[in-house]
Structure 1
Amino acid sequence: MTDRNSPHAASGERLGAGSRAPLLPLALVVALFFLWGVANNLNDVLIAHFKGLFTLSDFEAGLVQSAFYLGYFCLAIPAALFMRRFGYRAAVLLGLCLYGIGALLFWPAAGLASYPAFLLALFVIASGLGFLETSANPLIARMGDEASAARRLNLAQAFNPLGSIVGVLIGRAFILSDTGDHSATAVQGPYLAIGLGVFLWALLIRLVRFPPVATARDADEGVGAAGDFRAVLRRRQVLLGIAAQFFYVGAQVGVWSFLIRYAEVAVPGTAPRAASDYLTASLVLFMAGRFAGAMLMGRVAPRRLLALFAAIGGACCLFATLAGGHAGVLALVASSFFMSIMYPTIFAESVHGLGGLTKSASALLVMAIIGGAVFPALMGLVSDASGTIVRAMSVPAVCFAVVLAFALAPRGAARSSASPDA
């Protein structure tokens, strides 16, 4: 097993720790957060588009997110094993290639006008993003002082909602229609451009020289990998982090997936393109929250800030469930500000101090993104059963309560007393 005290861990995993990373490689990695933000939030537009195109129920439309986040779940551990053998940068390159292939698959899927073909393309995109998130998040965390990893990751993640905003704007301009004219071919141009852009970024990363921490390989990828996963699963901080991440991603994806639908129902007469403006506003607040959170963490402990944001976010969703109307829409929009720090803070707190176990823990945390597949479908079932999407917002309210519990867990309870080296 490659542990955090082994010579290999010292020479490979710790390279670059405590020092400043070269600016260009760092910028290229940070840009990945933008790229997967574009893909993530185009899904929210696709749900509204496919619902009209294929005449889907809320549950069936929620399968867009189920297919997407299933890719994360299935590819996270393969991504970690790939990183052990070939390093962080190689995993990033493979992830970008899968992302690009999935985007290009939208062209034939649109030609066939087949919902299952679209779901397959989304699965391939998400498989690529599984590689990207499994590699980019820990790479940012390790490219500098470990004590400031949560703050640094929040800053890098601030570029994710910028990509999300661009994704929604692309969808609003090229995919959604106020006239009710739904066309499968409307998605071809946007996804072709995205696919080509992703391949270009992969070429840039391949050509640029990266620091050793990005290219270091683990020598014992066989038995050592299994040992690392066993050691990680003995860490309560990781187990609690996996649970928190599962529920958080479910809440975030659920709120954003059905925000357009909620606005149309809660405020009768709201057109899809007008409703998408609420989603854009949510993403702007989400990005603002990331920058605000990164600054606040200079003065407030990350877990304490996470607890405050989780409590307020849950209250916003509960209010939206009970109030409905325009006030409910605004409450959901406001909840995005408080979601902002959750993913990177849970991630950084969960991998803190793991050293050579970081790659394995990262894979399990990325697998927890499967919450994004579970909870939108659950919200669709609640909506179909209750007759309104308004009641479905009770689901993310419960999810935020789980994040609050993680944030309030005492430091001692969040860490295992057993060392992975024992």
Structure 2
Amino acid sequence: MKKTPLLARQMIYPFCLVTTLFALWGFANDVTNPLVKAFQQIFLISAAESGLVQTAFYGGYATMAIPAALFIRKFSYKSGILVGLGLYATGALLFIPAAGEMEFTLFLIALYILTFGLAFLETTANPYILSMGPPETATQRLNLAQAFNPVGSLIGMVVASHLVLAQLNVSEFRTEQMELHPEYSEMLPGEVDAEITASLHDFAETSPEEHAQFRSEDLSTIKAPYVAIAGVVLLTFLAFAVSRFPKNTEEGKTLHFFGTVKRLVSTPHYIFGVLTQVFYVGAQIMCWTFIIHYAMGTLGMSASQAQNYNIVAMILFVSSRFLCTFLLRFLNPGLLLGIFACLGVLLTLGVIFIPGMPGLYCLIGISICMSLMFPTIYGISLEGMGQDAKLGSAGLIFAIVGGALMPPLQGRIIDAGSIEIGGLIIAGVRASFILPLICFVVVAIFGFFNTRKAT
């Protein structure tokens, strides 16, 4: 029996070029995640306020997903990619005035505009990849392209760990405080974190000019990778501008917006898929963002040490995504999704109820379970949608708003401090993982609900 090809022959070059975009937005995601904790220390704000970094970042997706879909429907995939790359570079370059003014709000605006570009890229690239070959292998093809997303994420994490977090004055301040106060070694990590934060506040009040210089240097360190990636994005823009792409038969056709929306909202597996994507993205961003909080708040690690565990999680994520692309040749996508989500539930329970390093290992292990979730939910949700997939993809990219809504909620749980569950006193940062737990339950239900679909 002849196997269904993964990719149409004439689409090999476009596939390779479009796949580079997956790495570009992966870099942006994971060079940004550590800024939640960094901005909390630099600007002396709460965990909930620093969570607004993710609100701005993923809010940009929510704002621009539908306009991006309408744009590419009217014009072309290539036009959508070029607009996305232009907005990405613009947002990254806005880190220059934000660092100069030392205003947290300006950083949020820069991230918001940057993700306008990412929304264009994701809304364009995902359905384009799905259309590059037979429908039977669409989910497998998207998983392969998405496998290069964590490669960019891994580079972003390494940059964040070694070129940003390790170089910050607030990191050096933390180390100095640990050396000045040997009694901290006898205290719980959460208590130590609170003491060091109080010392930072005292430093800002007693030496405002020195603290301002301290802050200025840290913000300059933070802006550097964004300026660098802006240059890479502009080079990528040029590569796409001079390349020719096979014209899609649906490009330029009139979009019957309300008719398409009516068909989409009357398709149960699509609506369930969008809802599931909201929960999944929320879980992913919470698990990766708050690895640093977990390691610092419960194990007393420095920010750069904690980020190294984020890197390990991403290596597992990358490896598992390639493995899942292989497994999808033999297993139903919905079934595999449901099994991995159940494993995610078990590991999240470990994060909540198992203290110390074993809990951190559970948190890292969740990345294995998450590796196939986004592209598989995406592929299942758009199965059989035909020309409605472009606008349908906007709904699934809009669902990335889950990454904007949930981290601040998790931050509020962390700020509330320890809670009691079944007679156990659990630190706030561990208890906060009840939110990802709920998310993985939803993903499991969606996966098993769709096991009847053909692979």
Both proteins in one fold, TM over 0.5:
yes
Structure-1 residue corresponding to 2:130: 141
Q: 5 Å matches for 1:18-29?
A: 19-29=8-18
**Gaps spanning 5+ residues in structure 2: where?**
174-213, 419-427
Would you say the 8 A contact 1:49–1:175 is kept in 2?
no
Give me the whole-angstrom Cα distance separating, in 2, the residues matched to 1:17 and 1:290: 16
- One-letter amino acid matched to 1:325: G
Matched position secondary structure for 2:251: coil
Match of 1:186 among 216, 221, 226: 221
Would you say the 8 A contact 1:36–1:160 is kept in 2?
yes
Match of 1:343 among 356, 371, 374: 374
Matched position secondary structure for 2:172: coil
Deviations along 1:241-289, one digit per CA (max 9) or x if unpaired, are 0011000000000011111110111212x11111101000010111111
The alignment status of 1:398 with 2:438, answered yes or no, reads yes
The alignment status of 1:120 with 2:105, answered yes or no, reads no
In the TM superposition, what is the alpha-carbon distance from 1:189 to its structure 2 partner?
1.9
Structure-2 residue corresponding to 1:418: none
In the TM superposition, what is the alpha-carbon distance from 1:216 to its structure 2 partner?
4.9
CA, structure 1 residues 184+302, in 2 after alignment: closer, same or farther (shift >3 Å)? same
Give me the whole-angstrom Cα distance separating, in 1, the residues matched to 2:62 and 2:145: 23
- One-letter amino acid matched to 1:23: I
In the TM superposition, what is the alpha-carbon distance from 1:324 to its structure 2 partner?
2.4
Deviations along 1:308-352, one digit per CA (max 9) or x if unpaired, are 100001211111011121111110101001100000000000001
User: TM-score, normalization: structure 2?
Assistant: 0.84
Structure-1 residue corresponding to 2:252: 218
- One-letter amino acid matched to 2:304: R
The alignment status of 1:363 with 2:394, answered yes or no, reads yes
In the TM superposition, what is the alpha-carbon distance from 1:227 to its structure 2 partner?
1.6
Return 129-138 or 382-391, whichever deviates more: 382-391
Deviations along 1:70-129, one digit per CA (max 9) or x if unpaired, are 100010000011011101111111011100000000011001111000000000111111
Structure-2 residue corresponding to 1:318: 349
Structure-2 residue corresponding to 1:8: none
Structure-1 residue corresponding to 2:195: none
Would you say the 8 A contact 2:286–2:406 is kept in 1?
yes
Deviations along 1:162-195, one digit per CA (max 9) or x if unpaired, are 1011001111122113413661111222111101
CA, structure 1 residues 383+104, in 2 after alignment: closer, same or farther (shift >3 Å)? same
Give me the whole-angstrom Cα distance separating, in 1, the residues matched to 2:89 and 2:345: 36
Structure-2 residue corresponding to 1:201: 236
| Count of residue pairs brought into register by the alignment | 395
Give me the whole-angstrom Cα distance separating, in 1, the residues matched to 2:47 and 2:99: 21
Give me the whole-angstrom Cα distance separating, in 1, the residues matched to 2:402 and 2:11: 35
Structure-2 residue corresponding to 1:160: 149
Deviations along 1:364-415, one digit per CA (max 9) or x if unpaired, are 0110110001111110111112342111111101100000010111567x89
CA, structure 1 residues 218+145, in 2 after alignment: closer, same or farther (shift >3 Å)? same
In the TM superposition, what is the alpha-carbon distance from 1:23 to its structure 2 partner?
2.7
Matched position secondary structure for 1:176: helix
Match of 1:53 among 42, 46, 51: 42
Give me the whole-angstrom Cα distance separating, in 2, the residues matched to 1:342 and 1:369: 13
Give me the whole-angstrom Cα distance separating, in 2, the residues matched to 1:20 and 1:48: 46
Would you say the 8 A contact 1:17–1:142 is kept in 2?
no
Matched position secondary structure for 2:429: coil
Give me the whole-angstrom Cα distance separating, in 1, the residues matched to 2:254 and 2:151: 39
User: TM-score, normalization: structure 1?
Assistant: 0.91
- One-letter amino acid matched to 1:245: Q
- One-letter amino acid matched to 2:125: A
Over aligned residue pairs, what C-alpha RMSD do you find?
1.7
- One-letter amino acid matched to 2:56: A
Give me the whole-angstrom Cα distance separating, in 1, the residues matched to 2:291 and 2:62: 24
Give me the whole-angstrom Cα distance separating, in 1, the residues matched to 2:70 and 2:355: 46
Deviations along 1:189-237, one digit per CA (max 9) or x if unpaired, are 2111101110110110111111122x8523213xx12221221111111
Q: 5 Å matches for 1:29-68?
A: 29-68=18-57
Structure-1 residue corresponding to 2:76: 87
Give me the whole-angstrom Cα distance separating, in 2, the residues matched to 1:408 and 1:203: 43
Match of 2:362 among 316, 326, 331: 331
- One-letter amino acid matched to 1:191: Y
Structure-2 residue corresponding to 1:12: none
Return 170-179 or 344-353, whichever deviates more: 170-179
The alignment status of 1:297 with 2:286, answered yes or no, reads no
Would you say the 8 A contact 1:307–1:408 is kept in 2?
yes
Give me the whole-angstrom Cα distance separating, in 1, the residues matched to 2:344 and 2:416: 25
Q: 5 Å matches for 1:369-388?
A: 369-387=400-418, 388=428
Would you say the 8 A contact 2:6–2:141 is kept in 1?
no
Q: Quick check: which has more Rg, 1 or 2?
A: 2
CA, structure 1 residues 185+410, in 2 after alignment: closer, same or farther (shift >3 Å)? closer
Would you say the 8 A contact 2:7–2:141 is kept in 1?
no
Give me the whole-angstrom Cα distance separating, in 1, the residues matched to 2:242 and 2:292: 41
Give me the whole-angstrom Cα distance separating, in 2, the residues matched to 1:335 and 1:218: 42
Structure-1 residue corresponding to 2:312: 281
Would you say the 8 A contact 2:296–2:306 is kept in 1?
yes
Match of 1:99 among 79, 88, 98: 88
Would you say the 8 A contact 1:141–1:153 is kept in 2?
yes
In the TM superposition, what is the alpha-carbon distance from 1:18 to its structure 2 partner?
7.0
Would you say the 8 A contact 2:48–2:408 is kept in 1?
yes
Give me the whole-angstrom Cα distance separating, in 2, the residues matched to 1:113 and 1:279: 27
Structure-2 residue corresponding to 1:258: 290
Match of 2:140 among 133, 148, 151: 151
Matched position secondary structure for 2:40: helix
**Gaps spanning 5+ residues in structure 1: where?**
1-15, 416-422
Matched position secondary structure for 1:300: coil
Structure-1 residue corresponding to 2:210: none
Identity of counterpart residues, as a percentage? 38
Give me the whole-angstrom Cα distance separating, in 1, the residues matched to 2:393 and 2:9: 22
- One-letter amino acid matched to 1:303: G
Would you say the 8 A contact 1:286–1:339 is kept in 2?
yes
